Chains A and B, each alone.
Chain A
Amino acid sequence: MGKFVVIGERLSTTAPIINKAFTERDPEPILKRAKQQLDAGATYLDVNIGPAESDGEDLMKWAVQLLQSEFDNVPLALDTANMKAIEAGISVYNRAKGKPIVNSADASGRIGYLDLAAANDAICIALCNGEGIAKDNDERMMYCQTLLERGMEHGMEAEDIWFDPLFLVVKGMQDKQMQILECIKMFSDMGLNSTGGLSNNSNGMPKTIRPIMDSALVAMAMMQGLTSAIVNPNDLRLMETIKSCDVFKGNTLYADSYLEI
C-alpha cells in the first residue's frame, strides 16, 4: 500500500480571505496557504471555489494554472458545484504529479460527476450518500455499488473512485461513528480507495479539542483501511498521527526523521 494521501482543505471559499482572493484574482493569499499546506505534508490541494455560477470556468482555470505553475504541477482536487468549471480546470491541468481529482459525485443529483471524471481520466470522490444522510451501512453500500458500477460503465478503473462514507459530526450523531468506521472497513475489504472530510467529526467543538478528536479518528479510520482524507495539514497533531500510522501500516519505511519528511 502507498502512503496515506492528505488532501489539504484550506483553499476554500468558506474561508473569507480565500473567498475574497478568488473573487479578486489575488494570488498572494492563495499561494501563501497553498505553501503552508504543502510544507506541512499535503499531497493534493483541494481547490474549493464554491458554487461559482457566473465565472466558475475562468476562475478554476486561473486557480489551477496559478497553483501548478508556482508549485511544480502540484496535484489538485477540483471542488465546485459548477461542473463546467471542473472541466475547464482539467483542460489546463498538468498531470505530471498525479491525475486531477473531481470533488465530488454522490449517488443522487451529483452522479454525473463520475461521468465527467471518466471522460477526463480523472479520479473521482464518490460520496456514498443519496438524499439525506444514509440510515445505515446497507444503504451506504448500496450507494457504493451504484457509484462503482456507474464509474466502471464509463470506463473508470475502480482505483480511481475514492469512496467517501460521509464523516458525521460527533455532537449530535455520536451513535453513528462506529457505523462510519465499519463502512470504511467494507470499502477496504473490497479493495477500494476511500477518503472524506474527516474533520467534520469535530465540528462545533472547542479549537483545542478538534486536533485530538481528528487524530484519534484518523488513526481508527486508517486501521479500518481509509486511504486518504480531506483535512487541514497544518494540524500538526493530525499530521504526526497520520505519519505514525503510515509507519505501523508499513505504508512507509521508518526512519528516525520520519516526521520531518
Chain B
Amino acid sequence: MPFTAKSGKFNASINTLTIGTGDKAITLGGENVLPFYTFDAPIENAPKVGIEITDGGLDAEPDCIKACYEGCTSVVDMAKKAAGFEGVDFLSLRLEGGDPNGLNKSTEELIAIVKEVAAAVDLPLVISGCKNVEKDAELLTKAAEALEGRNALILPAKEENYKTVGAAAGLAYKQVVGAESSVDINLAKQLNVLLTQLGVNPQSIAMNVGTASAGYGFEYVISTIDRVKAAALSQGDATLQMPIITPVASEVWGVKETMASEADMPEWGPVEERGIDMEIETAAADLVSGSNAVILRHPASVATISKMIKELV
C-alpha cells in the first residue's frame, strides 16, 4: 500500500487580527496548523516582530542599546530610528514611567509622548502600560483615545481592569485589546469570555498569556502557550483563538544574565552578546510554541528573529 501522508491541519483556525493602518499594517493569525508547520498547510501571516522603546528614552536603556540609538536626544528620535531597523514590523511604546511606585509620571505627560511618537512613525503601534492596574486603567484609556484611528494594540487589559481598558480600547476607540493573563490558562480563557461579554469583538482581541525570560519559570510560559494553541485548534475553542503576542524585551533585559557586567562575571563574556542571546533564545522559543508576535529591544535580536521567521515560513 502506498504511504499517504496525512495533513496535520485543523478544522479550526486562529483569528485574523490586523494592527495599524495603511501599507504598514500587520496581520497576525489565520493559521490552522501548529506553529511553522507550513508542510501541513500554508501559513499566510508569518509571525511579526516589534521593537520596544519606553517613555524613559535613552536613560532607561542599557549601554549596549544606547549605542544603537546614537545621536537620538528624545523618545521621538528613538521611535524614528527604531522604525528603520531591519526586520521591524511594529513599534511598541512602554509607558513604564507611569508606575506610581516608580517615577509616577502624570498621564498627561505620558500621553503627550504617545501623541508625539504616533505622529512621528507610521508603523503599527503597541502601547503598553506601567504594570499598575489602577494607573493603567486611566493611562490606557487616554492612550486609546489619543490614538483613535490608528488601530493600535492597547496592552494590557487584566482581570482587575478589563472593564475600563476593554471599554475604552475595544468599544469607544476601536483599538485592539491585549488581554493579559499571567501563565494561567483558565484565566486566559475567562478574560476573553469577559471581554466578549462586555461587547468587544473577539476579532479585536490579542492575548498575552504570560511571559518570562528563558530560565525564569519559562517552561510554564511555553506549556501555557502550547495548551492555548491546542485548545484553539484541536478543540476548536473560539474563546482561545485570539492571536498571541509575547513581550520579551521587558523580561529579558531585567535578569542578571543580561545585566551583570563583564567585570563582575568575566566567565560569562561580553554583556551585550549575552543580552542579545537571551532575547533571541526566549523569542525563538515563544514563537515555536505559538506566539504570533514578539516584542524585542535590541536591533540585532529583531534582525535575527525576523530572519528566522522568513527562513521558516
Checking B185, B194, B197 against A253 with a beta-carbon cut-off of 8 angstroms, the contacting residue is B185
Judge whether B237 and A252 touch: CB under 8 Å: yes
Q: How far is the CA of A256 from the CA of B189 in the complex (A)?
A: 9
- Pairs across A and B, CB under 8 Å, 18 listed: A2-B235, A2-B236, A3-B235, A251-B235, A252-B231, A252-B237, A253-B231, A253-B235, A255-B187, A255-B193, A255-B239, A256-B186, A257-B194, A257-B197, A260-B193, A260-B197, A261-B193, A261-B239
Closest to B230 in A: A253
CB contacts (< 8 Å) of B189 on chain A: these are 253-255
Q: How far is the CA of A251 from the CA of B239 in the complex (A)?
A: 14
What per-residue 1/0 map shows which CB atoms of A1-22 lie under 8 Å from chain B? 0110000000000000000000
Q: How far is the CA of A261 from the CA of B239 in the complex (A)?
A: 9
Q: How far is the CB of B80 from chain A (nearest CB, A)?
A: 42
CB contacts (< 8 Å) of B194 on chain A: these are 257
Closest to B240 in A: A253
Say if the beta carbon of B190 comes within 8 Å of chain A: yes
Closest to B193 in A: A257
Which among A2, A251, A253 has the highest number of chain B CB atoms within 10 Å? A253
CB contacts (< 8 Å) of B236 on chain A: these are 2
CB contacts (< 8 Å) of B237 on chain A: these are 252-253
Q: How far is the CA of A2 from the CA of B234 in the complex (A)?
A: 8
Judge whether A257 and B190 touch: CB under 8 Å: yes
Closest to A253 in B: B231
What per-residue 1/0 map shows which CB atoms of B220-239 lie under 8 Å from chain A? 00000001000100011101
CB contacts (< 8 Å) of B185 on chain A: these are 253
> Which residues of B223-282 are within 8 A (CB) of A?
227, 231, 235-237, 239-240
Judge whether A255 and B235 touch: CB under 8 Å: no
**Further contacts, 8 of them, CB under 8 A, given A255-B190, A256-B190, A257-B193:** A2-B235, A3-B235, A252-B231, A253-B185, A253-B186, A253-B237, A255-B186, A255-B187
CB contacts (< 8 Å) of A260 on chain B: these are 193, 197
CB contacts (< 8 Å) of B239 on chain A: these are 255, 261
Q: How far is the CB of A157 from chain B (nearest CB, A)?
A: 13
CB contacts (< 8 Å) of A257 on chain B: these are 190, 193-194, 197
CB contacts (< 8 Å) of A255 on chain B: these are 186-187, 189-190, 193, 239
Q: How far is the CA of A99 from the CA of B141 in the complex (A)?
A: 45
What per-residue 1/0 map shows which CB atoms of B173-186 lie under 8 Å from chain A? 00000000000011
Q: How far is the CB of A227 from chain B (nearest CB, A)?
A: 14
> Which residues of A206-261 are within 8 A (CB) of B?
251-257, 260-261
CB contacts (< 8 Å) of A2 on chain B: these are 235-236
A254-B235 in contact given A260-B193, A260-B197, A261-B193 (Cβ < 8 Å): no
Q: How far is the CB of A209 from chain B (nearest CB, A)?
A: 33
Closest to A256 in B: B190
Q: How far is the CA of A253 from the CA of B241 in the complex (A)?
A: 13
Q: How far is the CA of A260 from the CA of B193 in the complex (A)?
A: 9
Q: How far is the CA of A112 from the CA of B181 in the complex (A)?
A: 53
What per-residue 1/0 map shows which CB atoms of B185-219 lie under 8 Å from chain A? 11101100110010000000000000000000000
Closest to A3 in B: B235
Q: How far is the CB of B191 from chain A (nearest CB, A)?
A: 8
Judge whether B193 and A254 touch: CB under 8 Å: no
CB contacts (< 8 Å) of A261 on chain B: these are 193, 239
Which among A3, A257, A260 has the highest number of chain B CB atoms within 10 Å? A257
Closest to A98 in B: B11
Q: How far is the CB of B14 from chain A (nearest CB, A)?
A: 16
Q: How far is the CB of A98 from chain B (nearest CB, A)?
A: 10
CB contacts (< 8 Å) of A256 on chain B: these are 186, 190
Q: How far is the CA of A256 from the CA of B240 in the complex (A)?
A: 14
Q: How far is the CB of B243 from chain A (nearest CB, A)?
A: 17
Closest to A257 in B: B193
Q: How far is the CB of B25 from chain A (nearest CB, A)?
A: 28
Q: How far is the CB of B238 from chain A (nearest CB, A)?
A: 9
CB contacts (< 8 Å) of B231 on chain A: these are 252-253
Q: How far is the CA of A261 from the CA of B154 in the complex (A)?
A: 26
Q: How far is the CA of A193 from the CA of B267 in the complex (A)?
A: 60
CB contacts (< 8 Å) of B240 on chain A: these are 253
CB contacts (< 8 Å) of A252 on chain B: these are 231, 235, 237
A254-B197 in contact given A3-B235, A261-B239 (Cβ < 8 Å): no
Closest to B234 in A: A2
Q: How far is the CA of A148 from the CA of B197 in the complex (A)?
A: 43
> Which residues of B7-59 are within 8 A (CB) of A?
none
Closest to B232 in A: A253
Q: How far is the CA of A252 from the CA of B232 in the complex (A)?
A: 10
CB contacts (< 8 Å) of B186 on chain A: these are 253-256
CB contacts (< 8 Å) of A3 on chain B: these are 235
Q: How far is the CB of B59 from chain A (nearest CB, A)?
A: 41
Closest to A254 in B: B186
The 10 A-B residue pairs with the shortest CB-CB distance, nearest first, are A255-B189, A255-B190, A257-B193, A253-B231, A256-B190, A254-B186, A253-B189, A255-B186, A255-B193, A261-B193
Q: How far is the CA of A256 from the CA of B186 in the complex (A)?
A: 8
Q: How far is the CA of A257 from the CA of B186 in the complex (A)?
A: 10
